[in-house]
Amino acid sequence: MKQEYSDITDKLGKPIWWDEAGCPRYEPFKPCMANDFYAKEVTLLRVGCQNCHQQYFVCVSSGARDPRRFCGRPQPLAYGDPPRYCCQIGASMTTETQEIVGLWVYEDLEWVIKVPQEYLACAILRHRTEGDAKFLNGDVSG
């Protein structure tokens, strides 16, 4: 289970996205904001709680904590337990990956967005909604 951050979410409301540790984030997503400072690959996923199906945007990375490239993992683009923000039962369950919203690789001292074609065999990919496209561009006005 991930840590509960109700001390933050009670004051600031629902976050835009959650990092790997389940910490709520309120600024538009950038790969450099991943919880693993030494990350070499970062992906933003849309996942759903296995129990109540609450949707979240979450970050997963490979780097110091887990140096395996995403495709080298048994569950390639899985977030694990959902953030502790929805139902109590879901906190001890897992999430289901709904969409790869974006995938970045750190190359030549900068983050480069990649089309996740090489990861299609590893994860579920669905069409982005207009809202997700706005989210990627930092437009979170609703």
Domain assignment present for residue 116? The answer is: yes
Query: What total number of domains does the chain contain?
Result: 1
Q: Which two tokens stand for residue 98?
A: 């709904």
Task: Quote the domain boundaries for residue 120.
Answer: 6-136
Asked whether residue 141 is assigned to any structural domain, the reply reads no
Tell me if the pTM is above 0.85. no
Q: What is the mean pLDDT of residues 27-53?
A: 93
The pLDDT value recorded for residue 118 is 56
24 has pLDDT over 90: yes
Q: What is the pLDDT of residue 126?
A: 35
pLDDT, tens digit (0-9, with 9 covering 90-100), for 44-63 = 999 999 999 999 999 999 88
At residue 130, the pLDDT reads 42
Q: What is the pLDDT of residues 60-116, one digit of tens each?
A: 998 877 777 776 666 667 899 999 988 888 778 889 999 888 889 898 999 988 866
Could you tell me if residue 57 is inside a domain?
yes
pLDDT at 92 (0 to 100): 80
Q: What pLDDT score was predicted for residue 117?
A: 58
Whether 142 maps to a domain, the answer reads no
132 lies in some domain: yes
In a domain, 56, yes or no: yes
Quote the pLDDT of residue 119. Answer: 56
Residue 1 domain-assigned (yes or no): no
